[in-house]
Structure 1
Amino acid sequence: MKQTKILFVCHGNICRSPMAEFVMKKIVADAGLEDSFYIESAATSTEEIGNEVYPPAKRKLAEHGISCKGKTARQMTRQDYLRFDLLVGMDDWNIRNMKRICGDDPDEKIHRLMDFTVRPGEVADPWYTGNFEATWNDVLEGCTDLLRSIVKN
C-alpha cells in the first residue's frame, strides 16, 4: 500500500482539524497502518497561527487517551495541494477557502470529512456551540469511515 498523505483543514487549526489529525493518527496506529499514512492539519485563516490546540479540544482528545502535544496552528498553502493526496475540510466555508488557496481542485483532492460517512454534511463547530462532544463524535465517525474507504480502495 502506497503512503497516503492527508491534510485536515478548518478555519483556525485549533479545534476541529487538529482533533481530526490526532484521531486519525490514533485509529491508523491502532490498525497497524502508521507507515502507510502521513497526517497533518492546517488552517484556512491566519488568525491562530502559532497557537496551541484550543484547551477544550485538547481536553476532549485527552479524555480518549490522545495527546496533541506540540501541535501549533499553521496556515494551509497552495503547495499543500501538491504535497497531499487528500485535503479534508470540516465545513462548506472551509472547502470554499481551501479551493481559493489552492486555485480550485483540478485533481478532486478536496472533500468534506463527513462526506465519507452515511450522513454527509459539516462537522459540528465547537467554537460557536461549546459542544466538543458533538465534534468528537463527528470527527471519530468521519475519520473511521475515511480510513475504511482508503483501505477498501
Structure 2
Amino acid sequence: MVNVLFVCLGNICRSPMAEALFRDLVKKEGLEDQIVVDSAGTSGWHVDSPPHEGTLNILRKYKVPAEGLAGRQLKKEDAEKFDYIIGMDESNIQNIKKMLGQPRQPHIIRLLDLTDHQKDVPDPYYTGDFQETYDLLSEGCKRLLEKIKEEQL
C-alpha cells in the first residue's frame, strides 16, 4: 500500500483539492486498493472544518467527488505512515520538515517540482483564483501518479 499526504497551510483550499483530485485519478486508474490519499495543514486553524467554498465549487464544476474532506493538522506520526508527503509551496515544505524532524524520510516533495510550472501553488485563500489552483494541481497530481506508478507499482 502506498500512502500519500498532501499538505498546505490551513488544509481548506489547496491540499483538500489535491486530495480529491488525486483520489479521483487513483480511482479512475483502478488503484484505490493500492494507494491511500489524505491531506493535512501545517497550522491547526481549521481542524475538522470542511474545505473552503471556493474549493468545493471548483471540485463540483469538474465533477470531482469531495466526500470525507475535513481539515486536520499535520502530526509527527504522519512521517511514519506516509510514503509521499506533498507540499504546495516552499513554506509548507520547510514547515513539514520542522514538524516531522528526520524520521524514516518519506519522499517530501513540492508538488510543482514534478512539472514545468512555477514552483509554488498559489494559495487561493489569498488570491481568490481557485481555477488557477485547480489547473496546477491537476497537472501536478497526474505527474505524481506517474511517479508513484514508476517507483512503487
Shift of 1:105: 6.3
Shift of 1:70: 3.3
Return the TM-score normalized by structure 1.
0.94
Instruction: Give the Cα separation in 1 of the matches to 2:93 and 2:120.
Output: 10
Shift of 1:67: 2.4
1:19-38 equivalent positions in 2, closer than 5 A = 19-38=17-36
Q: Does the Cα contact within 8 Å between 1:6 and 1:40 map onto a contact in 2?
A: yes
Candidates 78, 86, 93, aligned match of 2:76? 78
Residue by residue over 1:9-28, the C-alpha shift from the partner in whole angstroms, topping out at 9 and shown as x without a partner, is 00000000000001000011
Partner of 1:103: 101
Amino acid across the alignment from 1:31: E
Instruction: Give the Cα separation in 1 of the matches to 2:73 and 2:119.
Output: 23
Shift of the 32–94 alpha-carbon distance from structure 1 to 2, 3 Å rule, reads same
Partner of 2:66: 68
Shift of 1:38: 0.4
Structure 2 residue runs without a partner (length 5+):
none
Amino acid across the alignment from 2:60: A
Partner of 1:122: 120
The alignment partner of 2:145 has SS state of helix
Amino acid across the alignment from 2:89: D
Shift of 1:150: 1.2
User: CA RMSD for the aligned pairs?
Assistant: 1.3
Amino acid across the alignment from 1:126: P
Candidates 13, 16, 32, aligned match of 2:14? 16
Instruction: Give the Cα separation in 2 of the matches to 1:121 and 1:106.
Output: 25
Instruction: Give the Cα separation in 2 of the matches to 1:37 and 1:58.
Output: 23
Structure 1 residue runs without a partner (length 5+):
none
Partner of 1:139: 137
Q: Does the Cα contact within 8 Å between 1:90 and 1:123 map onto a contact in 2?
A: yes
Residue by residue over 1:112-147, the C-alpha shift from the partner in whole angstroms, topping out at 9 and shown as x without a partner, is 011111335011210111000000011000000000
Q: Does the Cα contact within 8 Å between 1:53 and 1:71 map onto a contact in 2?
A: yes
Instruction: Give the Cα separation in 2 of the matches to 1:72 and 1:39.
Output: 13
The total of aligned residue pairs comes to 151
Instruction: Give the Cα separation in 2 of the matches to 1:139 and 1:26.
Output: 12
The alignment partner of 2:66 has SS state of coil
Amino acid across the alignment from 1:78: K
Overall identity of the aligned pairs, in %? 38
1:34-45 equivalent positions in 2, closer than 5 A = 34-45=32-43
Return the TM-score normalized by structure 2.
0.94
Residue by residue over 1:12-47, the C-alpha shift from the partner in whole angstroms, topping out at 9 and shown as x without a partner, is 000000000010000111111111100000010011
